[in-house]
Structure 1
Amino acid sequence: MVDHKKIIKTGLVGYGYVGQTFHAPLIASIKGLELAAVVSGHPEKVKKDWPDVTVYTKAEDLFHNSDIDLIVLATPNDTHMPLAKEALSLGKHVVVDKPFTLTLAEARILAKIASQKERLLSVFQNRRWDSDFLGIKQAIEAQRVGQISQFESHFDRYRPAVRERWREEAIPGGGLWYDLAPHMVDQALQLFGLPDSVQASFATQRQGAKITDWVHVILAYGEKRIILQGSMLAAGGTARFTLHGDKGSLIKRLPDQQEAQLRAGMKPGAAGWGEDPDDIHFWDGEGNTTHWPVPAGDQRGYYQAIYEALTGSAPNPVTPAEAIAVMAVIEAAIHSDALGQRVKLDLTEDERKAFSH
């Protein structure tokens, strides 16, 4: 039975950049979700933003709060597995920030526990609700470039100075491939399904860098090539998406603006939220160019879907099967870089059938 009036009390673990910038405001923007508690080592920081929220310093205390229905993990990557496992074991529904886990084996363990406990387990793939991705998805569905030969997805930054933060340390789950790549991989799988093989090249390019800060990964689908590129030394001149086919080519130059809006303090759903003035540009091969707007992005869609899944009116927006597939690509790329050759996905037939796009 669908209960549209149910309030889902939500506990957020972690109030660093991701927890503060994305999760807290997005959760609070959804009718039916209540940001009831936050786990943070800096209670004063949380209370400044959310004075009515209960603050814990230990995740264990939050997990044992019987009033909390949903746990959201916005913590360092190497904590995702143990924290999610504990929360699921105590009967909580769980949302994990990307990457889901550090390894494919860990992903399988969490999926099994969630199934046994009959709890929702989902991964925060908020970039499915970005304007750039929605625009490129529409173009592909409309077959704007015809038969696709090449697709490029860039997640580039210009941060030449190495910062003192866990994402840039030589630790499990550190580096660019675990940071931005899960978004690119998830989007590619949503658009094209599971690849035949993965070929990767990683590098550590910045002076003083301790771990991967440049990635180039090719997903093969027959003769079609999907290229995932990320750099911390790209000051400009690259497009977020590039698409080539037998009817022409198109680019989406600039990324979705929601992260910048959230950093600036805009509340999700405010006037102008998710609007993207950067059009998609198309070349038909005969010298003719056209352009068209992209839909507004709205990452609230993820948490709205989570609420609907928990109240019985919609499916889980990002299933464990989809999360396992992403981890299979992430792991295959790591093996490919180490071996210097193409690698196939280490997925069972049941896992391939469970993945849908």
Structure 2
Amino acid sequence: MRITSIREREIPMAAEIRNAYVDFSTMTASIVAVESDVIRNGKPVTGYGFSSPGRYAQGEIIRNRAIPRVMKAEPDALLDPSTGDLDPFRVNAVMFKGEKPGGHGDRSVAIGAVDAAMWDLAAKLAGQPLAKLVADRFGNGEIADSVWVYAAGGYYQPGGGPQSLVTELTGYIEQGFEHVKMKIGGAPLAEDAERVAAVVDAIGDGSRLAVDANGRFDLDTALAYGEMLAPFGLLWYEEAGDPLDYALNAELARNYAGSLATGENLFSVQDSRNLLRYGGMRPDRDWLQMDPALSYGPTEFIRMVLDAEQFGWTRERFVPHGGHQLNLALAAGLGLGGTECYPGVFQPIGGFLDSTPVTGGRVQMLDLPGIGVEEKSNLWAHFADL
């Protein structure tokens, strides 16, 4: 097996929404196609990958660093020496050559998009769904029939008040979701309290609602919001402070008895390990949200999961950020607790396959090779000629 070409493209993912930090009106994503010399049904077997919402497209790094390193590598350097199969771990290491440790961010997004395509290709070459490939290598060989998912939305919208927020989130409940997430921190505390109360009243139970501050708060504000949120009995309180401010997170954990969630902006094993060492996260109630597509790809994410187990965390406490089909496959194969879904925003990346509606808060897994990008029509439209 040889890789014959790697191609990338920037696609729009814009929406007239904002969270506590970011206006998404110009948001983009990177998509990647990795073509092999293996021919099936008259066509080269090709892997497809993409980046997640929240970080912009990284075409320059993909074109000038990641792709040249792979294409210049000795072909055997990308293969498992014992089987001759494509080894995404070895490819990932090739892409990282020449990069200094630390400083994770844009390059982790770039390498992550290519890495996702490599895993898609590896699964297709093996004739398996990606979920099955990772289950055989890093799980018990079994994949979940379905995966718990929650609907992420509830962004601040121009002219939108509590009623439009309620309409959006109850709409997700009507689509089959049982849990939803909304944004906080982009308005004064009193206004956010009114927004949270309106949603809880509409869906009938605070444990069906998560809130996300996107790292906006200093310690005093994080604690004040925690005091306001505690009576609602929420599903979780997400990313109150800067993702690398482990001391803030630890102090919040000492004062907030409910569940916390964080990790979407940690892109390496080293950073996620420091969160578990110093961030006060509690394995009995808190949630880890590292995003495979933003974290150098499934390769580094799998390392994060295995590393967290050494700290006493179970895989059921992982619920990756990203809201797309890649994370659904990894959740099913690794036995994770579930995954996020973006049913109404961040298209075409957000959401799952056209033929897998959400039922009872869960999504069925299909026996499709690789990630299954080809079965998501609005996303496949961008890949079809790539």
Check whether TM > 0.5: no
TM-score by length of 1: 0.29
TM-score by length of 2: 0.27
Q: Which protein has the bigger strand share?
A: 1
